[in-house]
């Protein structure tokens, strides 16, 4: 037996080493904080204190559209793939809505780059080509990336990004890593790496404004504490900017419910949510769009932002996309664009106009 171990143990160690090397080569390990390139035209204007600013946040669901049920939409694990024609339709529709609204800043989540599921498209570039005359500045950051994910519904490459488009000059961009879901060492390498895409925009008086774009984790059970950890990490970053007196706003897909919506969902739709939303860490401190009164009040249907690809649903049924902002910024108006966006993505765009603080 000892002789057998003497011959098999080195071989086993070599095999483990080769597997580890293969995993290392296929996966992505971002730093906690990374500076990002900024694409900005020299003619881009600079923000002015006291001016109005229109912002849109939208999870565009890798342009997959609404005609499919994907592996993470239902517990049954169904999976279909969007056709090139459907993605082309969604791309045109996203560009149409952006051109119609013409927000000053657009925060996009779930744009694919090099992913098998979307035909290896660089979706940010495809969209940017359609709106380049409106947005001279941009930055982007991956929040999921691997050359090959061995999970059967994926079984190929993933590449998913956050992207920020701006009519105004961006001076600096960086990626801040958020806490990741607990998992064993091997599976953790293939999981999403949720993050903050931070852009800093100069103001004409020499100060700055910070704009954050994010897509938080999608919990599978109410006991999953990853979202709590991520929201706490986001709050710490926002607190830092607030303490400096820097005006800021953040938008994205938070995958969390507002106060009062949990009890309105059917039991089968509640499994990934907690009755006590972790989002309270943010709404206890900072203004939110939609507010809890809007999202759960008499006109709550106007503020629903998520329409899951579940054939049992015939329309949006919950709110998970938000804008938060510094109390120094004034909200002018806000809405969720629903009427002509229900077939573009499983999320709907949240749009708001603000007034920046005047110069001291």
Nearest to 249 by CA among 138, 123, 350, 141: 350
CATH of the domain at 277: 3.60.10.10
Compute the distance between CA of residue 304 and CA of residue 350 in angstroms, rounded to an integer. 10
Backbone angles phi, psi at 4, to 5 degrees: -60, -45
Model's pTM, two decimal places? Answer: 0.92
* Domain-embedded: residue 9: no
Whole-number pLDDT of residue 72? 62
Q: Which of 185, 165, 190 is nearest to 103 (CA)?
A: 165
> Is residue 8 domain-resident?
no
Residue 25, in any domain of the structure: no
Structural domains of the chain, count: 1
Q: Is residue 360 situated within a structural domain?
A: no
Closest CA to 118 of 152, 92, 150, 80: 80
| 261 belongs to a structural domain | yes
Answer yes or no: is 242 within a domain. yes
Structure confidence at residue 168 (pLDDT): 98
Helix (H, G, I), strand (E, B) or coil at 296: helix
Query: Does residue 279 belong to any structural domain of this protein?
Result: yes
pLDDT for res 20: 54
Q: What is the pLDDT along the chain (360 residues), one digit of tens a residue?
A: 565 556 565 655 555 455 555 555 667 789 999 999 999 998 899 999 999 999 999 999 999 998 888 766 665 555 567 899 999 999 999 999 999 999 999 999 999 999 999 999 999 999 999 999 999 999 999 999 998 888 777 888 999 999 999 999 999 999 999 999 877 667 777 789 999 999 999 999 999 999 999 999 987 776 678 999 999 999 999 999 999 999 999 999 999 999 999 999 988 888 889 889 999 999 999 999 999 999 999 999 999 999 998 888 899 999 999 999 999 999 999 999 999 999 999 999 999 999 999 976
Domain span at 343: 33-355
C-alpha torsion 87→192→232→286, nearest 10 = -10
Tell me whether residue 12 is in a domain.
no
């Amino acid at each position: 037996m000892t002789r057998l171990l003497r011959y098999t143990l080195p071989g086993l160690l070599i095999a483990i080493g080769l597997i580890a090397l293969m995993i290392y080569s296929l996966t992505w390990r971002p730093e906690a904080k990374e500076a990002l390139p900024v694409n900005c035209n020299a003619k881009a204007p600079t923000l002015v204190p006291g001016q109005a600013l229109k912002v849109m946040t939208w999870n565009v669901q890798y342009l997959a559209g609404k005609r499919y049920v994907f592996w993470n939409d239902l517990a049954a694990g169904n999976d279909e793939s969007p056709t090139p024609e459907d993605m082309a339709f969604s791309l045109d529709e996203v560009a149409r809505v952006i051109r119609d609204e013409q927000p000053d800043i657009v925060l996009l989540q779930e744009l694919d780059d090099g992913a098998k599921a979307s035909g290896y498209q660089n979706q940010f570039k495809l969209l940017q080509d359609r709106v380049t005359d409106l947005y001279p500045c941009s930055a982007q950051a991956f929040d999921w990336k691997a050359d090959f994910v061995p999970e059967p519904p994926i079984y190929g490459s993933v590449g998913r990004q956050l992207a920020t488009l701006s009519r105004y000059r961006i001076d600096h961009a960086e990626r801040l890593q958020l806490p990741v879901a607990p998992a064993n060492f091997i599976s953790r390498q293939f999981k999403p790496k949720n993050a903050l895409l931070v852009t800093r925009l100069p103001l004409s008086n020499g100060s700055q404004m910070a704009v954050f774009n994010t897509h938080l984790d999608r919990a599978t059970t109410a006991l999953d504490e990853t979202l709590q950890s991520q929201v706490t990490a986001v709050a710490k970053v926002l607190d830092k900017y607030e303490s400096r007196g820097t005006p800021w706003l953040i938008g994205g897909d938070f995958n969390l419910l507002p106060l009062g919506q949990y009890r309105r969902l059917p039991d089968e739709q509640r499994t990934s949510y907690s009755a006590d939303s972790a989002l309270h860490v943010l709404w206890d401190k900072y203004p939110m769009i939609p507010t809890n009164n809007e999202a759960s009040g008499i006109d709550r249907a106007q503020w629903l932002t998520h329409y899951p690809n579940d054939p049992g649903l015939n329309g949006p049924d919950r709110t998970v996309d938000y804008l938060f902002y510094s109390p120094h910024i004034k909200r002018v108006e806000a809405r969720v664009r629903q009427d002509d966006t229900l077939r573009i993505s499983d999320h709907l765009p949240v749009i708001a106009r603000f007034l920046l603080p005047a110069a001291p």
